[in-house]
Amino acid sequence: MSRKELVFIVSRAFALFLISWALADVSYIPERLFSLTHHISQGSVLARYDYWSSYYLVVTSFLVVRVLALLLVAGSFWRCGPRVQALFSLEGDNREASG
């Protein structure tokens, strides 16, 4: 097996790991949205700041951003472009050691 094929397999395996991580995080979205809508509906008209509504808005937003980032990075590793090949390649280490 050549080094390029090995890098391709490792890259795809890492992409599958990231995709499974993203899918696990997607399973939390309904609970976060339910909590967010509950606390927004329970908010007082007189209160200018509602801690729990703001908290769940931040938590939900970061969860969605994390899922999107994981899928974006997984897509990059799945395609296994030149940057990913350079990341897994040992050629850069050999140049640093000799230079």
Confidence of residue 91 (pLDDT cuts 50, 70, 90): low
| Overall domain count for the chain | 1
**Is residue 82 one of the residues assigned to a domain?**
yes
**Is residue 97 one of the residues assigned to a domain?**
no
**Is residue 71 one of the residues assigned to a domain?**
yes
**Is residue 96 one of the residues assigned to a domain?**
no
**Is residue 98 one of the residues assigned to a domain?**
no
**Is residue 56 one of the residues assigned to a domain?**
yes
3-20 confidence digits (pLDDT tens): 888 888 999 999 999 999
Is residue 35's pLDDT more than 90? Answer: yes
Range of the structural domain that residue 36 is part of? 3-90
**Is residue 51 one of the residues assigned to a domain?**
yes
**Is residue 22 one of the residues assigned to a domain?**
yes
Residue 92: the pLDDT is 53
Residue 93: the pLDDT is 52
Work out the mean pLDDT of the chain and round it to a whole number: 87
List C-alpha distances in Å: 86 to 11, 19, 25, 90, 99. 11, 22, 29, 8, 18
Structure-token pair, residue 81: 């472009």
